């Protein structure tokens, strides 16, 4: 173990592929499985977010990877090594807990030293590594403090440092920002992401905050009810949701029911169809062939809709909230369809105004009912 450690110390980074194959976990007394069936493969050095509503199985997945929970079925592999049955302390995985789980009786320094001591790493090497990591998280000055003497953000960084200093093969983070206030949370997001890029360590990140997942991840895995709904880069998840659930969960979105009228020949990266909806006939894109008459949903993001006097659609502004950098309008359209429209403050309309609006077919995406 100590030899391997030295090798790692030399390179300074260890990249790993994680592979979850057919994971299933059903707790005793639970009505439904926490993880119904999960397949998920990462690339080396990727930052993956597990995103989903409360109770969808994110934590359980992470705990199976960490070794605190043993799956009923399926395997967990790191670089093809099957670790499903290893106890947690043999897995060499760094974990950051939602409440940080810092050892309250140890100083920052000794919190960081803990994992190294467990590995029997010598004094000098310990000191070097801890110094490095402390510098990295900008906590060198606070090494002798106890956790309770630190602010939330500082505690968070200690937790991160403690997981990183053992130079693990994989980093797991379970809602590490949930306990921070909005301002601090934003700072920590950037911090974690930049650190992860610098160290290059493969990371699984659990959150139920979609904007967090969007900003931070290389790829996002959206879960619901113990199943994986979609696993793709953030932009695809946001712009091209595969299901109504994903569209609803990721950002604010307008979902309009309709049925396919036919393919058009508009140019664009994806084929454009016309869809008959309450708004009228609407152009929207999809990457799969669709049959005429097929019932579908069209999703349009609020910021993709623009008020334009010559716009083909019309409605009445019901409310307008100033959100600082943007204004959010609710618009009641013909046919009873309600829409959310987000504009910059310069283009706001006041409540009660008549609005005409438009959107690009490239920003309207079709979700086919049967995925």
Partner 1 sequence: MRTKRKPLATRVADAVGLAYVGAVYVFLLLPIAVIVLMSLNAGEFLTFPPQGISLRWFGALFANEAFMRAIGTSLQVAAIATVCSTVIGVAGALYVVRHATRLREGLRMLLMLPLMLPEILTAIALLFFLYASGVGTRTMFGLLVGHVLVTLPYVFTNVASSLYNQDGSLEQAARSLGASPWRAFVRVTLPLIKPGIITGALFAFVISFDLFNMSLLLKGIGMTTLPLQLFDYLRWDFDPTAAAVSTVSIVVTLVAVVWVDRTVGLRSLRFG
Partner 2 sequence: MSAVMTAEAPPRSSARRKARPGRGAFWLIAPALVLIGVFLVLPYLNIIAMSLRPTAAGAPYGAGFTLANYAHALGDGYILGVLADTLVLGATTVPICLLLGYPVAYHLARSRSRWGSLLYVLVLSPLLVGVVVRSFGWLILLSGNGVINRVLIDLGLVETGLQLMNNRLGVTIALVHVFLPFMILPLVGVIQSIDPTLEQAARSLGASRLKVFWRLVLPMSWPGIQAGTVLVFVLTLSAYVTPVMLGGAQVKTMSVLVVQNLIDNFQWPAGAAQALVLSACGMVAVWVYARLTGRFMKGLQ
Ligand X SMILES: Nc1ncnc2c1ncn2[C@@H]1O[C@H](COP(=O)(O)OP(=O)(O)OP(=O)(O)O)[C@@H](O)[C@H]1O
Residues near Mg ion, by CB under 5 A: 59
Judged by CB under 6 A, which of 3, 7, 54, 325 binds ligand X? 54
Neighbours of 176 (CB within 10 A): 25
Provide, rounded to whole angstroms, the least separation between the CB of residue 192 and partner 1.
18
**153 three-class SS:** helix
**230 three-class SS:** strand
Distance, CA of 5 to CA of 8 (rounded, Å): 5
Binding map of ligand X across residues 60-89, x = CB under 6 A, - = no contact: x-----------------------------
Burial of 119 (0-12, 13-18, 19+ CB in 10 A): middle
Does residue 182 bind its own copies (CB under 8 A)? Answer: yes
- Applying CB under 8 A, which part among 9-17, 98-106, 334-342, 354-362 lies near partner 1? 98-106
Provide, rounded to whole angstroms, the least separation between the CB of residue 175 and partner 2.
12
Residues of this chain, 164-183, that bind partner 1 according to CB under 8 A: 166
Residue 176 binding target from ligand X, its own copies, partner 2, none, CB below 5 to 8 Å by type: none
Does residue 99 bind partner 1 (CB under 8 A)? Answer: yes
Residues of this chain, 166-205, that bind ligand X according to CB under 6 A: none
Planar angle of CA 118, 123, 127, nearest 5 degrees? 100
Residue 45 binding target from Mg ion, its own copies, partner 2, none, CB below 5 to 8 Å by type: none
Contact 340, 328 (CB under 8 A): yes
Contact 165, 115 (CB under 8 A): yes
Neighbours of 318 (CB within 10 A): 14
> Can you tell me which residue has the tokens 């929207």?
284
Closest listed residue to residue 157, CA positions, set 100, 113, 237, 119: 100
Neighbours of 5 (CB within 10 A): 18
Distance, CA of 122 to CA of 370 (rounded, Å): 58
Joined together, the tokens standing for residue 221 give 């895995």
Joined together, the tokens standing for residue 164 give 């990183």
- Applying CB under 8 A, which part among 66-74, 106-114, 163-171, 297-305 lies near its own copies? 297-305
Counting residues that bind ligand X (by CB under 6 A) gives: 13
The DSSP symbol for 369 reads S
- Applying CB under 8 A, which part among 105-113, 131-139, 213-221, 357-365 lies near partner 2? 105-113
The residue number whose beta carbon is nearest to ligand X equals 59
Q: Are strands 73-78 and 81-82 parallel, antiparallel or unpaired?
A: antiparallel
Residue 58 binding target from ligand X, its own copies, partner 1, none, CB below 5 to 8 Å by type: ligand X
Planar angle of CA 152, 154, 156, nearest 5 degrees? 70
Counting residues that bind its own copies (by CB under 8 A) gives: 35
Does residue 101 bind partner 1 (CB under 8 A)? Answer: yes
Q: What does residue 180 show for φ and ψ, rounded to 5 degrees?
A: -100, 155
Residue 321 binding target from Mg ion, ligand X, partner 1, none, CB below 5 to 8 Å by type: none
Distance, CA of 19 to CA of 77 (rounded, Å): 5
Binding map of its own copies across residues 151-180, x = CB under 8 A, - = no contact: ---------------------------x--
Provide, rounded to whole angstroms, the least separation between the CB of residue 277 and its own copies.
22
Closest listed residue to residue 317, CA positions, set 344, 340, 336: 340
Does residue 97 bind partner 1 (CB under 8 A)? Answer: yes
Residues of this chain, 262-321, that bind ligand X according to CB under 6 A: none
Nearer to partner 2, 35 or 300 (CB): 35
Counting residues that bind partner 2 (by CB under 8 A) gives: 41
Residues of this chain, 3-32, that bind ligand X according to CB under 6 A: 27, 29-30
Residue 92 binding target from ligand X, partner 2, its own copies, none, CB below 5 to 8 Å by type: partner 2
Give Cβ neighbours of residue 267 (< 8 Å, ≥ 6 apart).
none
Does residue 146 bind partner 2 (CB under 8 A)? Answer: yes
Residues forming the site for partner 2 (CB under 8 A): 26, 28, 66-73, 85-95, 97, 99, 101-107, 114-115, 118-119, 146-148, 162-163, 166, 172
């Amino acid at each position: 173990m100590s030899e391997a450690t030295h090798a790692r110390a030399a390179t300074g980074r260890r990249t790993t592929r994680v592979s979850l194959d057919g994971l299933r976990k059903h707790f005793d007394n639970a009505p439904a499985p926490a993880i119904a069936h999960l397949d998920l493969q990462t690339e080396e050095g990727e930052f993956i977010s597990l995103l989903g509503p409360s109770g969808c199985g994110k934590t359980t997945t992470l705990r199976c990877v960490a070794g605190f929970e043993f799956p009923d079925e399926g395997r967990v592999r790191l670089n093809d090594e099957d670790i499903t049955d290893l106890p947690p302390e043999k897995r060499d995985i760094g974990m950051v807990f939602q409440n940080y789980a810092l050892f309250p009786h140890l100083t920052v320094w000794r919190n960081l030293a803990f994992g190294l001591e467990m590995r029997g790493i010598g004094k000098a090497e310990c000191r070097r590594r801890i110094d490095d990591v402390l510098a990295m998280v900008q906590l060198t000055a606070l090494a002798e403090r106890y956790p309770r003497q630190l602010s939330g953000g500082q505690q968070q960084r200690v937790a991160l440092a403690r997981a990183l200093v053992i130079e693990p093969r994989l980093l797991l983070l379970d809602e590490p920002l949930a306990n921070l206030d909005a301002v601090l949370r934003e700072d920590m997001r950037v911090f974690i992401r930049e650190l992860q890029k610098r160290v290059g360590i493969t990371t699984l990140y659990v959150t139920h905050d979609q904007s967090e997942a969007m900003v931070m991840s290389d790829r996002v895995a959206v879960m619901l009810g113990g199943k994986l709904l979609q696993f793709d880069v953030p932009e695809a998840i946001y712009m091209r949701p595969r299901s109504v659930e994903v569209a609803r969960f990721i950002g604010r979105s307008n979902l309009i029911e309709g049925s396919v009228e036919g393919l058009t020949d508009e140019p664009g990266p994806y084929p454009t169809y016309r869809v008959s909806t309450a708004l009228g006939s609407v152009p929207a894109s999809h990457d799969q062939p669709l049959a005429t008459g097929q019932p579908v949903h069209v999703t349009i993001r609020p910021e993709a809709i623009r008020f334009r006097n010559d716009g083909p659609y019309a409605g009445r502004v019901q409310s307008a909230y100033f959100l600082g950098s943007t204004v959010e309008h609710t618009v009641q359209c013909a046919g009873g369809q309600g829409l959310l429209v987000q504009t910059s403050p310069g283009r706001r309309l006041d409540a009660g105004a008549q609005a005409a609006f438009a959107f690009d077919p490239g920003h309207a995406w079709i979700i086919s009912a049967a995925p």
